[in-house]
Amino acid sequence: MRILTGIQPSGKLHIGNYFGAMKPAIELQEQGDAYIFIANYHAMTTVQDPASLRTMTTDVALDFLACGLDPEKTALYRQSDMPEVHELAWLLSTICPMGLLERCHSYKDKTAKGIAAMHGLFAYPVLMAADILAVQSNVVPVGKDQKQHVEVTRDLAIRFNNAFGEVFTVPEPFIRENVAVVPGIDGQKMSKSYDNTIEIFMEGKPLKKRVMKVVTDSKELEDPKDPETCNVFALCKLLSTEEEQAALAERYRAGGMGYGHAKTELLEKINEHFAPMREKRRVLVENMDYVEGVLKKGAEKASVLARETLQKARQAVGLE
Ligand code: ATP
Ligand code: MG
């Protein structure tokens, strides 16, 4: 089984990224041939500052290594170290109906939030298809927001294979339903580019401030509360055992527990869960040569697959 996932270096990674994509991908590295890439070409659709793009790219590498990615098991690489994906994206573009992209929610959501409606943002799912198909991945661990993009990938792979012969493996998305969409502090999907995140590596006062900002309804302390509609509860759930979830839900329903209490509990859970990863990250920052080495080795491994796929695809369409 080959597994691939990617994350954009478009801002600091947050607990939505962690539970939606990083944790499942890191766990799957035990079960197959795993690839994780830092999608810096994709990030250019929202990041136009070269220095930030560079820093955020290495930050994603640090974050993954700190969160448990084992470079002996997973090839971690920068998307830009595998330019073959662009040629592949062009081949896929030529068979990609406009309607397929016009239906994509992510483009509509981002432009509705004021992100410029550039061609790159619109064509993003085609490049993403190329990322996935280049390594012939079978499984793609993603959050629910990316399900549609993986469906576009499947559609393009099938169209291509039907038109030119079997070149691509048709991948399956791997989505954990219980963490499908992690809410941000405003209750919408937590997103780097929406300024509504709780960052994995934020600590101390800034973290506390963020957690205290999570929106809730305005029920009084003594009122019974509904855990199912509460963003604080949704976030606590991710960091709790089933028994802890049931106990907290009980306290919500009984009344007498304010949202402030629930937020304090959430803050403690975040600190507890991420403490060892923060420690590991502090060590890694002092070893940037090691991190660079990991990225280089990862790119070499993934590029072997990409070159092989591209060669097959070029031959299939008549470029060779
Ligand atoms: P951007 O705002 O730049 O799109 P993002 O926060 O949405 O950033 P991506 O890099 O687009 O992050 O996505 C990386 C991975 O994290 C994807 O697999 C995506 O499905 C997952 N993911 C992102 N946000 C969430 C979320 N709120 N809940 C669950 N998974 C998420
Ligand atoms: Mg996104």
The answer as to whether 188 is a domain residue is no
The pLDDT-based confidence of 53 (bands split at 50, 70, 90) is very high
Give the DSSP H/E element, type plus range, for residue 270: helix 259-285
The answer as to whether 148 is a domain residue is yes
Which whole-number Å values give the CA distances from 17 to 63, 158, 227, 239, in the listed order?
11, 29, 23, 14
| Residue 192 in marked binding region | yes
Please write the tens of the pLDDT for every residue from 33-42. 999 999 999 9
The answer as to whether 195 is a domain residue is no
The pLDDT-based confidence of 300 (bands split at 50, 70, 90) is very high
- pLDDT score for 85: 98
Q: Domain check: are 217 and 292 in the same one?
A: no
The answer as to whether 217 is a domain residue is yes
CATH code of 261's domain: 1.10.240.10
Spatial distance between the Cα atoms of 228 and 208, rounded to a whole number of angstroms: 23
Spatial distance between the Cα atoms of 59 and 290, rounded to a whole number of angstroms: 14
Q: Domain check: are 51 and 79 in the same one?
A: yes
Indicate whether 121 pLDDT > 90. Answer: yes
ipTM of the complex: 0.98
Q: Domain check: are 176 and 234 in the same one?
A: no
Which range, of 25-29, 148-152, 242-246, 309-313, averages the lowest pLDDT? 25-29
Verdict on whether the full-model pTM lies above 0.90: yes
The answer as to whether 187 is a domain residue is no
Calculate the dihedral angle through the C-alpha atoms of 307, 125, 298, 197, rounding to the nearest 10 degrees. 170
The answer as to whether 137 is a domain residue is yes
Q: Domain check: are 55 and 142 in the same one?
A: yes
Indicate whether 180 pLDDT > 90. Answer: no
| Residue 182 in marked binding region | yes
Q: Domain check: are 53 and 92 in the same one?
A: yes
Indicate whether 218 pLDDT > 90. Answer: yes
Spatial distance between the Cα atoms of 210 and 316, rounded to a whole number of angstroms: 52
CATH code of 72's domain: 3.40.50.620
Q: Domain check: are 240 and 293 in the same one?
A: no
Q: Domain check: are 26 and 42 in the same one?
A: yes
Put residue 228 in one of left, alpha, beta given phi > 0 → left and psi -120 to 50 → alpha: alpha
Assess contact for 243 and 276: CB atoms under 8 A: no
Q: Domain check: are 250 and 155 in the same one?
A: no
The answer as to whether 196 is a domain residue is no
Q: Domain check: are 275 and 298 in the same one?
A: no
Q: Domain check: are 300 and 274 in the same one?
A: no
Please write the tens of the pLDDT for every residue from 92-109. 999 999 999 999 999 999
CA of 6 to the centre of ligand 1 (A): 9
Count of domains for the chain: 2
Instruction: Give the nearest ligand 1 atom to 180 CA.
Output: 29
**Is the CB–ligand 1 distance for residue 8 below 6 Å?**
yes
**Is the CB–ligand 1 distance for residue 234 below 6 Å?**
no
Q: Domain check: are 243 and 113 in the same one?
A: no
Q: Domain check: are 276 and 152 in the same one?
A: no
Which whole-number Å values give the CA distances from 275 to 32, 209, 238, 283, in the listed order?
28, 18, 16, 13
The answer as to whether 70 is a domain residue is yes
Parent domain of 229 = 202-282
**Is the CB–ligand 1 distance for residue 190 below 6 Å?**
yes
Indicate whether 143 pLDDT > 90. Answer: no
What tokens does 178 get? 């219980």
Please write the tens of the pLDDT for every residue from 270-297. 999 999 999 999 999 999 999 999 999 9
Q: Which ligand is nearest to the CA of 46?
A: 1
Mean pLDDT over 239-250 rounds to 96
Assess contact for 5 and 32: CB atoms under 8 A: no
